[in-house]
C-alpha cells in the first residue's frame, strides 16, 4: 500500500455529514483491488485530500484505499499506479455526502461508449464497486489518471483545470510525495494531454457530478452526460493529442487535474478562497484578475481566433448574458472562425476542424462555463462537421458549414421564438396580471407582442440580487408603455395573490420535465403553485436536453461571491468586506437552479404547448430531426 495514501476515516454510512463539515481524520482502509474491472461505469476519482481527508464516508471503499489498491493491483500498469495517487483534493473534502457515489455511478452509466474504452485502457483496473462511493471515486480517479497518460485509451480528457491554488496547497505532505512520482510519470507522458476530469475529490453530493465528469473525460468525445457537453459527434476520432479539449464537466475537486488544465489554459484563473464544501466540484475563480489579463494577451492570440477571443472576453465581463445571446454570439464567432480557417497540409478538414472547434470551446469554457443550450449548439455543429462528405472541396465545406450555422440560428432561435410568441399570447386574456422573474428574451417578446395586439394586462417583474436583471426588462417594458410593477423576490408570496399567470424563461428543460433556469425561478414557481397560479415556461426546443437532474447541486455554476458581499450604490453596507479572511464564513453565489416538473403547468416551445411530461417525446423527435438535417 502506498504509504502516502491518506488514511481514510471509516464512517458509518448511515451517519453522514453533508457539506459543511471538516472531515474527521480518515482511517486507512484496505480495499480489494479485485473489484470488477468489468464495470463499465466510470467512477469519479476519489476525492480526498492528499493527506488525510477521507473522501468517501463509506467504510467499504475509500478512495485512497481504492487508489492504493488500484495502484497495487497487478492489472494496473505502472503508469497507473504512478498516476494514481495524484489528485487528492486539497480541501477538506466533505466526506459526507458520498452516498451519491452510487448515484454517480448510475448517472455515469449511459456513457456506454467510453466506458468500454476506459475499461480497456485501464486494463483491469478495478473500476469500481458500484456500491460504494469511495470506490467509485477511487476508480474513476484512477481511470482518469490512467486515461491521461493513456491516450491510447482514446479518451481525450478535457478538463479545464484552473488550478485551485490555494486549496491545493492544503494537502501538502502526501501530495508532495505523490507529486514526485507524478513528475516522473509526466515526463513520460509529455504528449498526453487528456485532462482528466478532476476527479471529484471532495466527497459530497458532488459525486454525481464527478461521476459525470469522470465519464466525460473518458469519452473520447465527451459527449456530455451533463449539461452542455459540447463534444458531440465523433467520439473515436477525437483522440487528438495536441488539442486538449477540456472536459466541460470536469470536476474541480481534483487538484492534479486542475493543475493540468491550468497549464493548458489560456486564461489565468486564480482559485477563489473560502469555497463552499458542497460545491467544490464546480469551478470558482477570483473575478478581478481575469479580464485585464486576457485583454493584455489579446495580441498573442495565436491558438484562438479573434472573434472567439472577443466573445470569450464578452462572456467574462458579463457584456453578453442570457442563453440566446450567448449562443448566437458563440455561433457567429464560430462562423467567422470557419470562414478564416484553412486546412493544414496532411490533415483532413473534418478532424482538424473539429479539434479546432473543441479548443475554442475549451477557451470559452475557461471564460465562463457553457450553458446547456450552447452545448447543444456545439454538438450540432460538430455533427454537421462530421457529416461533411469527403468529396467536397475545402471552400465548399466551409460555406456549407457556415450556412448550416446560419440556418440553425434562424430556425432554432429566431423562428422558434416567433412560434413561441404566437402560442403563448393565446394564453393571455384581458384583465390578466402576469408575473415574470428575471429577464428572459422569450417572455419579453411575448409580453410586447400581446401588448401590440391590444390585450389589457399588467406585468409584475420580480427581481433578485445580485444580478438584478429584472431592471433591464422593466426598463424595456416601460418604454413600450406596459404598466408594470417591480418587486424583489422577497415579496413574491405577497404579490402572488393578485397574479393570474406566471411566465418564466428557461436556460434548459431536462428530460424529466425539470426546468433549469436562473436561480430564484424554482422559488417563484413553487409559490405560484401553492397559490394555484398556472406557471408557463417558455423555452425553445433546441434547449431541451436528455439529461435528468434531481437537484440544483450536482450541476450548476458559481458566480462571483464578491457580488453578494457588496451592494451597488450602498457603500456603507460593508460588513462583509473581509469575508475572505474569515475561516468559518463562505459566500455562495449560485447562478442556476432546477425547478421540479410538478410546479410547471405548461411548457411553450416552437412545437406547441406541451405538458412537462412530454419533454422526452420532443427531445426524441428533435434529435431525430437533427439526424435528417
Partner 1 sequence: MESEAPTMENNPKISAYYQTRLAHFGVVSTEWLAQAQSATNPLPSSSTDSDTDKDTNFSVIDEFNRWRSHPDLAEAVAAIRALAAVISSSKASTMMQLEIELKNASDTLKAWDTTSISLTAASDLFMRYVTRTSALEFEEFNSAKSRLIERADKFGEISYKARKIIAMLSQDFIFDGCTILVHGFSRVVFEVLKLAAHNKKRFRVFCTEGRPDRTGLRLSHELAKLDVPVKLVIDSAVAYTMDEVDMVIVGADGVVESGGIINMMGTYQIALVAKSMNKPVYVAAESYKFARHYLLDQKDLVPAIRPVDFGVPIPLKVDVECSARDYTPPQYLTLLFTDLGVLTPSVVSDELIQLYL
Instruction: Tell me how crowded residue 394 is: count the other CB atoms within 10 A of its CB.
Output: 12
Nearest distance from residue 612's CB to partner 1, in Å? 9
Interface with partner 1 (CB under 8 A), residue from 536, 549, 599, 623: 536
Interface with partner 1 (CB under 8 A), residue from 608, 619, 623, 624: 608
Nearest distance from residue 621's CB to partner 1, in Å? 7
- What are the E-state strand segments in 8-135? none
Nearest distance from residue 502's CB to partner 1, in Å? 11
Interface with partner 1 (CB under 8 A), residue from 152, 236, 288, 611: 611
What stretch of H or E contains 219? Answer: none
- Binding part of the chain for partner 1, among 193-201, 377-385, 394-402, 615-623 by CB under 8 A, reads 615-623
Q: Judge whether 81 and 33 are in contact, CB under 8 Å.
A: no
CA 328 to chain CA centroid, nearest Å? 19
Nearest distance from residue 424's CB to partner 1, in Å? 11
- Binding part of the chain for partner 1, among 72-80, 193-201, 255-263, 611-619 by CB under 8 A, reads 611-619
Q: Please, which residue, 141 or 544, has the CB nearer to partner 1?
A: 544
Kindly state the number of chain residues that form the binding site for partner 1, as judged by CB under 8 A.
17
Site string for partner 1, 568-607 (x = CB under 8 A): ---------------------------------xx----x
Instruction: Tell me how crowded residue 431 is: count the other CB atoms within 10 A of its CB.
Output: 10
- Binding part of the chain for partner 1, among 123-131, 466-474, 478-486, 616-624 by CB under 8 A, reads 616-624
Q: Please, which residue, 350 or 443, has the CB nearer to partner 1?
A: 443
Per CB under 8 A, contacts with partner 1 among 162-181 are none
Q: Judge whether 212 and 101 are in contact, CB under 8 Å.
A: no
Q: Judge whether 53 and 167 are in contact, CB under 8 Å.
A: no
Show Cβ contacts of residue 254 under 8 Å, excluding neighbours closer than 6 positions. 45, 47, 87, 88, 89, 141, 144, 196, 197, 198, 199, 200, 201
Q: Please, which residue, 412 or 427, has the CB nearer to partner 1?
A: 427
Q: Judge whether 32 and 41 are in contact, CB under 8 Å.
A: no
Nearest distance from residue 376's CB to partner 1, in Å? 19
Site string for partner 1, 70-109 (x = CB under 8 A): ----------------------------------------
- Side-chain half-sphere of 299: how many Cα atoms within 13 Å? 1
- Give yes or no for residue 501 binding partner 1 (CB under 8 A): yes
Q: In what order do the strands lie in the sheet with 592-595?
A: 508-509, 515-518, 592-595
Q: What are phi and psi of 433, to 5 degrees?
A: -115, 115
User: Bridge-partner residues for 228, per DSSP?
Assistant: none
- Give yes or no for residue 480 binding partner 1 (CB under 8 A): no
Q: Please, which residue, 202 or 514, has the CB nearer to partner 1?
A: 514
User: From CA 614, how far away is CA 616, in angstroms rounded?
Assistant: 6
Nearest distance from residue 419's CB to partner 1, in Å? 12
Q: Please, which residue, 464 or 597, has the CB nearer to partner 1?
A: 597
User: From CA 428, how far away is CA 310, in angstroms rounded?
Assistant: 40
- Give yes or no for residue 526 binding partner 1 (CB under 8 A): no
Nearest distance from residue 610's CB to partner 1, in Å? 5
Minimal CA–CA distance to 61: which of 2, 104, 14, 9? Answer: 9
Nearest distance from residue 505's CB to partner 1, in Å? 18
Nearest distance from residue 58's CB to partner 1, in Å? 37
- Give yes or no for residue 621 binding partner 1 (CB under 8 A): yes
- Give yes or no for residue 152 binding partner 1 (CB under 8 A): no
User: Bridge-partner residues for 610, per DSSP?
Assistant: 603
Nearest distance from residue 512's CB to partner 1, in Å? 12
Sequence-separated contacts (24+) of 616-619 with Cβ below 8 Å: 616/511, 616/512, 616/546, 618/541, 618/544, 619/511, 619/544, 619/545, 619/546
Q: Please, which residue, 429 or 475, has the CB nearer to partner 1?
A: 429
- Give yes or no for residue 617 binding partner 1 (CB under 8 A): yes
- Give yes or no for residue 457 binding partner 1 (CB under 8 A): no
- Across 222-254, b (16+ Cβ under 10 Å) vs e yields bbbbbbbbbbbbbbebbbbeebbbbbbbbbbbb
User: From CA 391, how far away is CA 30, in angstroms rounded?
Assistant: 57
Site string for partner 1, 400-429 (x = CB under 8 A): ---------------------------x-x
Nearest distance from residue 494's CB to partner 1, in Å? 22
Nearest distance from residue 380's CB to partner 1, in Å? 20
Under DSSP, the state recorded for 46 is: P
What is the distance in angstroms between the CA of the first residue and the CA of the last residue of the chain? 54
- Binding part of the chain for partner 1, among 115-123, 302-310, 392-400, 613-621 by CB under 8 A, reads 613-621
- Which pairing describes strands 432-437 and 501-505: parallel, antiparallel, or unpaired? parallel
Site residues (CB under 8 A) for partner 1? Answer: 427, 429, 501, 534, 536, 601-602, 607-611, 613-614, 617-618, 621
Amino acid at each position: 500500500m502506498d504509504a502516502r495514501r491518506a488514511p481514510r476515516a471509516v464512517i458509518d454510512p448511515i451517519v453522514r455529514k453533508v457539506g459543511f463539515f471538516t472531515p474527521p481524520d480518515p482511517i486507512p482502509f484496505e480495499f480489494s483491488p479485485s473489484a470488477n474491472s468489468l464495470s463499465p461505469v466510470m467512477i469519479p476519482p476519489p476525492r480526498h485530500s492528499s493527506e488525510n481527508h477521507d473522501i468517501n464516508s463509506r467504510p467499504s471503499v475509500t478512495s485512497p484505499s481504492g487508489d492504493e489498491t488500484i495502484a497495487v493491483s497487478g492489472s494496473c500498469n505502472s503508469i497507473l499506479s504512478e498516476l494514481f495517487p495524484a489528485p487528492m483534493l486539497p480541501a477538506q473534502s466533505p466526506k459526507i455526502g458520498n452516498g451519491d457515489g452510487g448515484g454517480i455511478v448510475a448517472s455515469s452509466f449511459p456513457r456506454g461508449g467510453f466506458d468500454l474504452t476506459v475499461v480497456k485502457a485501464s486494463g483491469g483496473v478495478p473500476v469500481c464497486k458500484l456500491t460504494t462511493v469511495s470506490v467509485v471515486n477511487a476508480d474513476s480517479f484512477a481511470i482518469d489518471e490512467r486515461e491521461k497518460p493513456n491516450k491510447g485509451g482514446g479518451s481525450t480528457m478535457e478538463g479545464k483545470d484552473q488550478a485551485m491554488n490555494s486549496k491545493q496547497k492544503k494537502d501538502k505532505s502526501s501530495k508532495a510525495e505523490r507529486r514526485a512520482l507524478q513528475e516522473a510519470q509526466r515526463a513520460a507522458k509529455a504528449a498526453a494531454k487528456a485532462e482528466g476530469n478532476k476527479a471529484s475529490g471532495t466527497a459530497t453530493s458532488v459525486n454525481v457530478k464527478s461521476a459525470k465528469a469522470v465519464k466525460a473525460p473518458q469519452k473520447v468525445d465527451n459527449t456530455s452526460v451533463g449539461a452542455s457537453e459540447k463534444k458531440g459527434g465523433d467520439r473515436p476520432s477525437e483522440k487528438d493529442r495536441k488539442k486538449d479539449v477540456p472536459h466541460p464537466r470536469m470536476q474541480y475537486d481534483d487538484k492534479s487535474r486542475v493543475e493540468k488544465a491550468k497549464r493548458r489554459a489560456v486564461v489565468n484563473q486564480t482559485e477563489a478562497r473560502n469555497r463552499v464544501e458542497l460545491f467544490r466540484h464546480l469551478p470558482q475563480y477570483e473575478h478581478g484578475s481575469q479580464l485585464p489579463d486576457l485583454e493584455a494577451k489579446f495580441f498573442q492570440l495565436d491558438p484562438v481566433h479573434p472573434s472567439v477571443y472577443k466573445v470569450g472576453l464578452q462572456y467574462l465581463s458579463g457584456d453578453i448574458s442570457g442563453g440566446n445571446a450567448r449562443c448566437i454570439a458563440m455561433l457567429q464567432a464560430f462562423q467567422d472562425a470557419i470562414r478564416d480557417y484553412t486546412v493544414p497540409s496532411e490533415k483532413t478538414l473534418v478532424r482538424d476542424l473539429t479539434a479546432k472547434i473543441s479548443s475554442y470551446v475549451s477557451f470559452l469554457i475557461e471564460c465562463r462555463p457553457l450553458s446547456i443550450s450552447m452545448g447543444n449548439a456545439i454538438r450540432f455543429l460538430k455533427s454537421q462537421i462530421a457529416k461533411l462528405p469527403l468529396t467536397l472541396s475545402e471552400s465548399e465545406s466551409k460555406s456549407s458549414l457556415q450556412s448550416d450555422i446560419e440556418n440553425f440560428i434562424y430556425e432554432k432561435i429566431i423562428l422558434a421564438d416567433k412560434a413561441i410568441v404566437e402560442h403563448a399570447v393565446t394564453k393571455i386574456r384581458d384583465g390578466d396580471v402576469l408575473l415574470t422573474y428575471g429577464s428572459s428574451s422569450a417572455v419579453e417578446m411575448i409580453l410586447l407582442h400581446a401588448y401590440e395586439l391590444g390585450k389589457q394586462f399588467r406585468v409584475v417583474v420580480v427581481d433578485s440580487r445580485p444580478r438584478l436583471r429584472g431592471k433591464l426588462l422593466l426598463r424595456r417594458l416601460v418604454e413600450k408603455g406596459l404598466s408594470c410593477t417591480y418587486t424583489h423576490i422577497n415579496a413574491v408570496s405577497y404579490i402572488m395573490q393578485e397574479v393570474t399567470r406566471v411566465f418564466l424563461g428557461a436556460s434548459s428543460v431536462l428530460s424529466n420535465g425539470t426546468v433549469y433556469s436562473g436561480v430564484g425561478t424554482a422559488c417563484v414557481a413553487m409559490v405560484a403553485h401553492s397559490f394555484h397560479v398556472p406557471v408557463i415556461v417558455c423555452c425553445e426546443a433546441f434547449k431541451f436536453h436528455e439529461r435528468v437532474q434531481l437537484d440544483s447541486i450536482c450541476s450548476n455554476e458559481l458566480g462571483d461571491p464578491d457580488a453578494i458581499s457588496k451592494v451597488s450604490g450602498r457603500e456603507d453596507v460593508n460588513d462583509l468586506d473581509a469575508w475572505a479572511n474569515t475561516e468559518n464564513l463562505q459566500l455562495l453565489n449560485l447562478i442556476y437552479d432546477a425547478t421540479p416538473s410538478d410546479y410547471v403547468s405548461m411548457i411553450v416551445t416552437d412545437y406547441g404547448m406541451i405538458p412537462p411530461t412530454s419533454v422526452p417525446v420532443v427531445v426524441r423527435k428533435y434529435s431525430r430531426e437533427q439526424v435528417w438535417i
